[in-house]
A and B are shown apart, each in its own frame.
Chain A
């Protein structure tokens, strides 16, 4: 057992190195990674440099454009926009990425299982139908009713709400990924190499991880990039139902929504949060592109 494992591990290591080098040769992916890292560093370290409290209302300085005191200006209550964008980014990035991962994971698992095992296809796809049909808003109101106070008591107001939001977004947005992945798997299942693997008695788990998953990576990567945008915006919609963070807690989606009516008065209020969301989504998209190219078994041919 052990003497077989060592060459296996070595092979895995060389494969990983090849993967990394392929990823790093992808210009878009490297750029995306750098931008995303920069955004993460900014929202983590930025508040240490720009020490203004994002919730402090500098009422006399309201609706201001950019100035030394407020580099991106202020909102209609005098809150510093830069501090809000920086602080809001922590939550938005955390919610966006975790909720996206949750929804991708759920979608991929359901999709692969439904596509690969025929007997699971019917029940799982009917489950997808059900989730797609649920009315989102009333569902969210029910979730607040049932879980807000329990989670708040168990984890405290902020962590409790974070868990709730991530779970809600993840659970209500995995269906599209599941349908797409299943569609691809249905086609892959009949491909010669999968049939061959199956005929020599390869276990389903190995077929899935070695042959199926790498080939459904592209739609999953697209779903991931779209999922981040979706999650960041959905989070702000939630706070409007009283489900999200308290109203004075800035997040990118919320800043954008609050700022929309002030578009002509203080354009910064929509430009900066909008830019932050778009940049994040773009960089996730390019990273996804790079990952897909790097992991594509047929890559390098073109």
Chain B
């Protein structure tokens, strides 16, 4: 297993390099432009000069190599310097990956965004998973009971009604009509005591609910399906025949074997949720990583988009590896050698 993990990690390096190049090529080909949101009164020659200043008229491979140098060499050095306080070489003139729209290091932007993304989106994801697991298990165990029918209904509607609708619906009800909850997330809010903690809870309530519903819908469906497959298996009959208590049959044998597809969904969903919760982030103005990414895309901020997308690529590769390793833990028959 360890051997396998190491080999996969080793393989991840060329994979990620290839991915980074393909992402860069796509961003370069994309027809959107960093001067697109400038006031229309700015004449074309000034725009051309700005494009030149950003280096957009250099050949694509040159710009890619520059990004690689900045990301794989300058950024780690800058990080080490920040941690140790040492200065290595000529740190003054070393260029970090710099966003075109803010003219500041991209990594600093991401670090600034990470707390609220992790708090809200991460929390919503965890809650979604925690809701989904019991719903999936009970739905399968009592297939076609009223609980199962209700679960099916809620989760399919939850998945087919987009978050831009549920988010706005919640705002209209709880912020406009009832005036209970804030509709705008305050990213500067600091939790220092119980009162401020309560404020934080209130501003997280609606976005977390919207996202948790969406994620739980998906995960619970897969778990239910997988549970149904396993409940009919011979080993379940054997376990029951051996006189094991029903609860431990379900919890230990069935659930464990049913988790394989669910582990995939959960592992894959996490990086996607962090970057893909854009709509929810926009509706509630949470301004996390997803919002940073989408604003970068709209302003054609290639260094920013490239860096964020690449960091997500790393996460995806890692989480897929974790999922694969978990397969082996959940089902000893799955072997990699």
Contact = CB atoms under 8 A, between A and B. Distances in A.
Nearest to B259: A183
B334 A190 contact: yes
A298 B232 CA distance: 7
A139 interface: yes
A138 B27 contact: yes
A185 to B, nearest CB: 10
A256 interface: yes
Contacts of B159: 226, 229, 281
Interface string B285-317: 000000001100100000001000110110011
Interface string A6-33: 0000000000000000000000100000
A126 interface: yes
Interface of A: 28, 122, 125-126, 128-130, 132-135, 137-139, 141-142, 144-146, 175-176, 179-180, 183-184, 186-187, 190-191, 215, 218-219, 221-222, 225-226, 229, 232-233, 253, 256-257, 260-261, 263-264, 270, 274, 277-278, 280-282, 285-286, 292, 296, 298-299, 301-302
Contacts of A302: 143, 231-232
Contacts of A229: 156, 159-160
Interface stretch (B16-24, B54-62, B63-71): B16-24
A49 to B, nearest CB: 27
B156 A281 contact: yes
B50 interface: no
Given A134-B22, A180-B264, A260 B316 contact: no
A301 B316 contact: no
A218 B228 contact: yes
Given A260-B164, A277-B160, A292-B228, 18 more contacts: A129-B15, A129-B316, A138-B32, A142-B29, A180-B222, A184-B261, A186-B327, A187-B333, A219-B261, A222-B222, A232-B160, A233-B162, A263-B168, A264-B172, A278-B156, A278-B160, A280-B160, A285-B221
Interface in B217-233: 218, 221-222, 225-226, 228-229, 231-233
A270 B165 contact: yes
Contact of B225 (A137, A176, A222, A282): A222
Interface in B25-44: 26-27, 29-32
Contacts, number: 165
- The 6 lowest CB-CB distance pairs between A and B, nearest first, are A133-B313, A218-B225, A190-B333, A229-B160, A281-B160, A138-B30
Contact of B320 (A129, A184, A186, A277): A129
B152 interface: yes
Interface in B127-157: 143-144, 152-153, 156-157
Interface string B310-337: 1011001100100100010001011100
A286 B143 CA distance: 13
Given A142-B30, A218-B228, A219-B225, A257 B164 contact: yes
Contact of B305 (A126, A138, A221): A138
B239 interface: no
Contacts of B157: 278, 281-282
